[in-house]
Chain A
Amino acid sequence: MTLETLPIGQRARIVAVDWERIAPEDGKRLRALGIDEGARIAIAHRGVLGGRDPIALMIGRMTVALRRAHAEAMTVEHL
């Protein structure tokens, strides 16, 4: 399953990232924040006013906002 479809609060691990689908600058930023293959994550919040964008991702003790388009490029497995 992709990160986009991961239910809120479910702990998961990123097993693969399709970097081709993410803009190079965004990819750099995501990796700098530790959002990469192997990272243990959970989704804290998703969407505003009925949409599914943006997403608040918990990684370690940090919360990071990202877009649905990024999440669609990441394959995750439940922990």
Chain B
Amino acid sequence: MTRLRRAALVGNPNAGKSALFNALTGARQKIANYPGVTVERKAGRLVLPSGEPVELIDLPGSYSFDTASPDEEVTRKVVMGDFPGEAKPDALVVVLDAANLEQHLVFAQEVIELGVPTVVALNMIDLAERDGLVLDPDALAQALGVPVIPTVAVRRRGLEELIAAIGTAETLAAARDHDAPRPHITLPERRLTASNIAKGAILSESAEHRIHAGLDKILLHPWFGPLILLAVLFVIFQAVFAWATPFADALDAGAGALSGLVVSNFPEGFLRDLVTEGIIAGVGSVVVFLPQIVILFAFILLMEATGYMARAAFVMDRLMASVGLSGKSFIPLLSSFACAIPGIMATRSIADPKDRLTTILVAPLMTCSARLPVYGIIIAAVIPNTRLAPFVGLQGVVLFALYIAGIVGAMVVALVLRSSVTKGAASGFIMELPRYQMPILKDLLIGLWQRAWVFLRRAGTIIFAATVILWLLLTFPKADPGESQVDASFAGQIANAMHPVFEPIGFNREMTLALVPAMAAREVAVSSLATTYAVDSEDEDKTLAALQGKITAMWSLPTALAFLAWFVFAPQCISTIAVARRETNGWKWPAFMVGYLFALAYVFAGLTYWAAVALGL
């Protein structure tokens, strides 16, 4: 045992690979990116009965090694040992959906033919049984020539047996290695074999599953389907705004208490001001939005886990087709509501290159969670909290309208791009609609934790650094008595220099100042406003509630609305630009993206401001 042995999970999409991976490795996973591409590399550890640890990697779902999309390409290269920097796995675990054998056995044969020691996990066997299928794993093992272990990842059924089989896979394969080299088999032959093997392994089969078809009848209904999707999206956005409030208030009160604690325990001076005005006011004002981000991600993960996400793509296909995209673009775009980075990465499942590029270019127009802090504070400050109907508040409606503005913007931009810079034949839409499933709480929690951690890490690094730098720029040089500190500071001077550009669209100096660090991460706009107003204020109240009060008192309604409009189109954060560069292999498209977003943001903030002033708001 000189080195860590490695095994990889492969299989069709929707075979329950990720659930099995979570069950085998627990929550202790390492998520990184494959070098050069942005497909996630998920790795974890399992321990063999002998006590030997094995590194398990979860590869992107694949229908074939004859690859169509970039993430399938990663699977093919890793399995074949062609991926630079990734050693060829010692063993492969092919994950099959027990209820979909005929289909999944096609790719399974292709994997087994590689001659790498292989174990088959006959997954979701409980769902197959629920569907009235009785299977014979032994017959399947005999036909495939590799061990077959029935598993139910959710209930941890068959996991020990599977781990034991991974441990012995190599010895078994070594004993079998005298086999003659395998002949090349064509796809139709493989399909025929798959069908025959599946027939041989199915002991009995009853009528098709009714829940599945019944749900599809409603959710894919030509008229009810879109209405239901709209209702689902509306509930999500109301929930993001309403449910998060108590948690956000608690976090904000915590930040205030922490600030008070520092004030009463440390002597007055530079360090105390840095901690209370800079760090706690800045970072705290962003961390407060963690509950909203968690709720939004919870809904997205839930839609994926239940199988509804693919139905949403189906329902959206026609609309997306009208702007030259397909329903497949809906999933990356919906993820972009949480963050454009996973959204842009999710475009890898789109096979058509022009479709994919268009989706990448419009993804930043979807209102990402980093914009929520900005929307949240300004809506709370300037929009009255009126009830329009039970459970429907004016603030929630305004938030919904901002999201709609982003979506409509993306649609129009996509249409323009598809008939100009990304012109080409209309793309197709081919997508498996997975069976409905009860979501697994543990998998949801693991996913949520990973997303929340990414957000907190940003708060602790980029936002922390931006806040401290901004505070220093605001604090020096010191103002003369009688002069405002913000006016005298470096930051104030920078803002004064930029201000003529932004004054026509109604931005005040504090807003102009906030735009600069907001390029690092959009939510920093809030923390910089908090820091700016905190530096300028005499009292010690640095909480979000105090910032909200300041905005209510100092911003006119047209100014606040212009700021909201700016952030609908705002040039995206540096991380998004970086991921767009990596995904498009160059600076050309990211530069184009930044340019058009900046222009749109300026024009629409201006239009909003002038219109609001003209209306006398």
Using a CB–CB distance below 8 Å, which chain A residues touch chain B? 22-23, 25-26, 28-34, 36, 44-51, 53-54, 56, 59-67, 69-70
Contact = CB atoms under 8 A, between A and B. Distances in A.
Given A28-B66, A48-B226, 11 more contacts: A44-B220, A45-B220, A45-B221, A47-B222, A48-B225, A54-B318, A60-B102, A65-B430, A65-B433, A66-B429, A67-B317
B213 interface: yes
A34 B432 contact: no
B210 to A, nearest CB: 13
B222 A29 contact: no
A49 B99 contact: no
A64 to B, nearest CB: 5
Contact of B208 (A25, A45, A61): A61
A51 B68 CA distance: 28
B100 A60 contact: yes
B432 A26 contact: no
B68 A65 contact: no
B431 interface: yes
Contacts of A69: 426, 428
A10 to B, nearest CB: 15
A26 B352 CA distance: 9
A45 B216 contact: yes
A29 B351 contact: yes
B18 interface: no
A8 B416 CA distance: 36
A63 B14 CA distance: 12
Interface residues of B, number: 44
28 contacts: A22-B428, A28-B68, A29-B68, A30-B430, A32-B63, A33-B103, A34-B103, A34-B191, A36-B191, A44-B216, A45-B314, A48-B318, A49-B318, A53-B321, A54-B318, A54-B327, A60-B100, A61-B99, A61-B102, A61-B208, A62-B103, A63-B433, A64-B432, A64-B433, A65-B314, A67-B428, A69-B428, A70-B428
Nearest to B208: A61
A26 B208 contact: no
Nearest to A23: B428
Contacts of A34: 102-103, 106, 191
A65 B428 contact: no
Closest 4 CB pairs of A and B: A32-B63, A26-B428, A63-B433, A45-B220
B351 A25 contact: yes
Contact of A66 (B64, B131, B426, B430): B430
B188 interface: yes
B317 A33 contact: no
A53 B99 CA distance: 28
Interface of B: 63-64, 66, 68, 99-100, 102-103, 106-107, 131, 187-188, 191, 208-209, 213, 216-217, 220-223, 225-226, 310, 313-315, 317-318, 321, 327, 351-352, 425-433
Question: Chain A contact residues: over half helix, strand or loop, or mixed?
Answer: mixed
B68 A64 contact: no
B433 A32 contact: no
B111 to A, nearest CB: 14
Contact of B430 (A29, A36, A46): A29
Contacts of A63: 216, 432-433
A65 B313 contact: yes
A65 B66 contact: no
Contacts of A30: 430
Contacts of B107: 32
A59 to B, nearest CB: 8
B63 A33 contact: yes
Of listed A34, A48, A66, residue having the most chain B CB within 10 A: A48
A66 B428 contact: yes
Contacts of B131: 61
Contact of A54 (B68, B216, B221, B429): B429
Given A29-B63, A33-B63, A34-B106, A54 B433 contact: no
Nearest to A53: B318
Contacts of A36: 188, 191
Given A26-B428, A30-B430, A32-B64, A48 B99 contact: no
Nearest to A29: B430
B352 A54 contact: no
Nearest to B102: A60
Nearest to B63: A32
B222 A48 contact: yes
Contact of A70 (B63, B216, B314, B430): B430
Contacts of B223: 49
Contacts of A31: 187
Contacts of B188: 36
B103 A60 contact: yes
Contacts of A49: 222-223, 226, 318
Nearest to B353: A25
A33 B430 contact: yes
A55 B155 CA distance: 35
Given A36-B188, A56-B220, A64 B317 contact: no
A49 B290 CA distance: 37
A60 B187 CA distance: 17
Contacts of B430: 26, 29-30, 33, 64-67, 70
A62 B14 CA distance: 11
A25 B317 CA distance: 18
A59 B100 CA distance: 10
Contacts of B225: 48
Contacts of B66: 28, 32
A23 B222 contact: no
Contacts of B213: 44
Nearest to B307: A63
